[in-house]
């Protein structure tokens, strides 16, 4: 949904205020206009039945929202797990390349691999937050495959190490593919109809309750609208794991650059001590 995609780009606190403000205003204004311009003479005599109907509908709507929250929370946890496994494979491959005995081939492969890592951090994850793909990252990843295919192991140990590198690379490819597909696993557009319609029906039943004090009625329904808005805010955030304040970050990929920097500093200190 393009509208939801644009909403999620707002700062989290601003998005939260916007959603609960709209929910409260819509509920309160609707209640005020209903009490002012729509006169239903049988409200008081049927208030007990109306209250029971409101309780039943509100309970079913709460169950629907709970199911949606549980579903998107499960998807978020699964996505975080796949990203963690991807990061673990990326770190394992980095170490394999770093300590490959042939230093010339190791340095050439490391240059290509670090270019891929940089593109994941700088291109792919930000693009996933905007529901887009990164062709540049895919091309750099393919270059890693190509470079590894042209390694020339000279003994049994190097052959085993290359096999381990390909194992990490294939795992990385698998989890990266799973991550790429999760950006499309948002709540389907048709499912938003019962979510929004359920909120409208719940507010409509709340407006039918006969409360003598109009301001109290408006205030209570505004609070109900705010509460529904808060649940919708949670659903929207959880449904977009690469955007907003709960977004998943490429921490393992960033750690690779940190480790590379530590290694350079260590080599520099060693060179100074030798001199």
Q: How do residues 32-60 score in pLDDT, each as one tens digit?
A: 998 888 766 655 556 677 778 888 898 99
pLDDT score, position 136 = 87
Q: How many domains are contained in the chain?
A: 1
User: Distance of CA 250 to CAs 102, 121, 158, 227, 257, Å?
Assistant: 29, 6, 30, 33, 11
Determine, yes or no, domain membership for 275: no
pLDDT band at 157 (very low <50, low <70, confident <90, very high): confident
Determine, yes or no, domain membership for 145: yes
Sole residue written with tokens 């470079």: 147
Q: What is the pTM of this model?
A: 0.77
pLDDT score, position 60 = 92
Which range, 36-45, 80-89, 179-188, has the best average confidence (pLDDT)? 80-89
Determine, yes or no, domain membership for 73: yes
Domain, as residue range, for 161:
2-270
- Please, are residues 65 and 195 in contact by the beta-carbon 8 Å criterion? yes
Report how far Cα 184 is from the mean position of its chain's Cα atoms: 11
Q: How far is the C-alpha of 236 from the C-alpha of 192, rounded, in Å?
A: 11
pLDDT score, position 10 = 76
134, pLDDT greater than 90: no
199, pLDDT greater than 80: yes
Percent of the chain with pLDDT over 70: 88
Determine, yes or no, domain membership for 222: yes
Q: Is 210 exposed, middle or buried (0-12, 13-18, 19+ CB in 10 A)?
A: middle
């Amino acid at each position: 949904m393009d509208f939801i995609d644009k909403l999620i780009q707002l700062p989290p606190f601003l998005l939260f205020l916007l959603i609960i403000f709209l929910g409260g205003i819509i509920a309160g204004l609707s209640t005020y206009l209903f009490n002012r311009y729509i006169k239903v003479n049988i409200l008081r005599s049927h208030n007990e039945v109306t209250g029971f109907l409101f309780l039943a509908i509100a309970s079913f709507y709460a169950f629907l929202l709970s199911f949606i929250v549980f579903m998107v929370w499960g998807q978020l946890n699964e996505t975080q797990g796949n990203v963690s496994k991807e990061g673990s494979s990326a770190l394992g491959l980095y170490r394999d390349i770093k300590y490959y005995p042939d230093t010339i081939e190791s340095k050439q492969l490391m240059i290509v691999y670090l270019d891929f890592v940089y593109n994941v951090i700088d291109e792919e994850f930000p693009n996933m937050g905007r529901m887009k793909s990164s062709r540049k990252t895919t091309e750099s990843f393919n270059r890693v495959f190509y470079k590894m295919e042209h390694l020339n192991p000279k003994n049994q140990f190097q052959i085993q190490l290359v096999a381990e590198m390909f194992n990490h690379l294939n795992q990385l490819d698998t989890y990266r593919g799973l991550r790429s597909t999760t950006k499309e696993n948002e709540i389907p557009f048709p499912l938003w109809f019962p979510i929004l319609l359920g909120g409208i029906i719940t507010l409509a039943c709340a407006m039918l309750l006969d409360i003598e004090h109009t301001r109290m009625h408006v205030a209570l329904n505004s609070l109900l609208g705010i509460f529904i808005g808060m649940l919708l805010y949670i659903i929207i955030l959880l449904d977009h794991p690469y955007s907003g304040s709960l977004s998943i970050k490429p921490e393992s990929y960033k750690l690779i650059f940190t480790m590379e920097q530590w290694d350079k500093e260590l080599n520099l200190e060693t060179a100074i001590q030798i001199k």
